[in-house]
Amino acid sequence: MTTSRDNSETALKVIVVGGGIIGLATAAELSERGYAVALFEQGRIHEATSGNSHRIIHGGLRYLQQFQIGRVLRSLEAKHLAASQYPEEIVPLPCYLPVTGRGLQRGAILGVAGALYGMLSTLAGYPTEWSAIRSNEVVRELSPYFSHLPYRKAFQWHDARLKDPSALAKKLRDRVIAGGGEVKEGVRVEEVAPASEPSARSQWVRTTAGEFFADAVVLALGPQHGTVRLSPKRKEGRPQMWAKAFNLVLREELVRDVGVGIPTARGAALFCAPRSSGHDGPCSAVGTWYVPVPDQTVELVVTEEEQGKALREVSESLALPEPLSSDLVCGVEVGLLPAKGVRDGEPELMASEEIRAHDGVWSILSTKYTVFPVIAREIADAVGQYLSSER
């Protein structure tokens, strides 16, 4: 399926491989800058992992736990850029986290973190991110499901949420086409190699729809990372392992216009966020859980046992008198993310994206939906510099 104007040319400036959020955003950025762009996606755009994210566009507050100031600033930039580019699809989300008093989840520590976060946002030129320590009654009053939480205080801050993934995908696709680019679904890219003929463009791309030539190629393959054949000199980064990531969608409106962190016994916090699209009536999503998998070819299925274990953890963490029933589950959002190993029995995701470039071919490996507009802009800048130097 081709969603663009007719174009019989096989010579392009840039070919983007992969129609997830990174590929779409990169193709849109390049197309708007005037480059002849074609995006190839073997399935349908913005499905698979990109279509099953938790839909939270966070500003990097969590990274203060490890004093990763650079990641905080990068996430703040991405959040404000995404919200300014797509105000109808990405909206503010007030968030709450009950203060457990354990480890880093102490009121004093969270208060200092919130103040530092606000200062960093102001110094970076963004509206000041404000936060507060409030009575946990504000969380208990959100839903009967939170009424049994034993904590006295809650930390409040603001992130953003993606209302409708399909609407954002359409907006990105329309940006590609408006700039004169093409989006081709159902086309698998099999091989990328240097063009053999001096008169041809520098990259030869073999697909299930034929052969193409381009000056530059961007590989944004997500879980299909490493499946396109490259010349020996062009080595992609490979994660040590992969992790199945999933959220459970419940047919209960636990939250409406806010997000709530749910402290767990294992130390991690689950997150409950609203779901207003893709299901029959308002729902809520809870997650994310991570399960190590042997490789990226595994079938992405969340078993009944895994769902049951997840529901038990939510029930215990909320101190519910009766456990949540599996009948409440109306959907499962599942994707595959690159990980660097296992810690305390759970996959440890790659800390940040990995971008490699070699002779006009860029390869992107990312775990974070949040930073898509920043990555797209950086790749477009790098491709533009490369193409300018080739003239």
CA dihedral 52, 57, 61, 67 (to 10 degrees): 70
Strand-pair category, 259-263 with 269-275: antiparallel
Between 151-155, 221-225, 321-325, 328-332, the lowest mean confidence (pLDDT) is in: 221-225
Contact residues for 83 (Cβ-Cβ < 8 A; gap 6+): 57, 90, 91, 92, 160
pLDDT band at 233 (very low <50, low <70, confident <90, very high): low
pTM, to two decimals: 0.88
Q: Please indicate whether residue 265 or residue 6 has the higher confidence score (pLDDT).
A: 265
Return the pLDDT at 175.
Answer: 94
Return the pLDDT at 234.
Answer: 59
Contact 91, 161 (CB under 8 A): yes
Contact 275, 163 (CB under 8 A): no
**3-state DSSP assignment of residue 359:** coil
Q: Which amino acid is at 245?
A: A
> Distance of alpha carbon 8 from its chain centroid, rounded?
34
Q: Please indicate whether residue 23 or residue 281 has the higher confidence score (pLDDT).
A: 23
Separation of alpha carbons 264 and 153, rounded Å: 16
For residues 17-39, average pLDDT: 93
In order of 7, 103, 196, 221, the CA distances from 363 in angstroms are 26, 38, 21, 8
Number of Cβ within a 10 Å radius of residue 3: 15
pLDDT at 332 over 60: yes
> Rounded to 5 degrees, what are φ and ψ at 261?
-80, 140
> Distance of alpha carbon 184 from its chain centroid, rounded?
22
Q: Which amino acid is at 173?
A: R
Separation of alpha carbons 315 and 60, rounded Å: 28
Query: 111-153: per-residue pLDDT in tens?
Result: 889 999 999 999 999 999 999 999 989 888 888 888 888 889 9
Return the pLDDT at 177.
Answer: 95
Separation of alpha carbons 73 and 122, rounded Å: 11
Q: Please indicate whether residue 19 or residue 295 has the higher confidence score (pLDDT).
A: 19
What value does the mean pLDDT of the chain take? 86
In order of 159, 269, 307, the CA distances from 312 in angstroms are 27, 14, 9
Percent of the chain exceeding pLDDT 90 equals 46
pLDDT at 344 over 50: yes
Return the pLDDT at 390.
Answer: 64
Omega of the bond prior to 288 within 30 degrees of 0, cis?
yes
Between 160-169, 204-213, 274-283, the lowest mean confidence (pLDDT) is in: 274-283
Query: 355-369: per-residue pLDDT in tens?
Result: 888 888 999 888 778
pLDDT at 300 over 70: yes
Domains of the chain (ranges; CATH) run 11-49+166-238+351-390 (3.50.50.60), 68-157 (no CATH), 240-349 (3.30.9.10)
Q: Which amino acid is at 21?
A: I
Q: Which amino acid is at 84?
A: S
Return the pLDDT at 14.
Answer: 94
Return the pLDDT at 197.
Answer: 63
pLDDT band at 12 (very low <50, low <70, confident <90, very high): low
Q: Please indicate whether residue 38 or residue 347 has the higher confidence score (pLDDT).
A: 38
Number of Cβ within a 10 Å radius of residue 198: 6
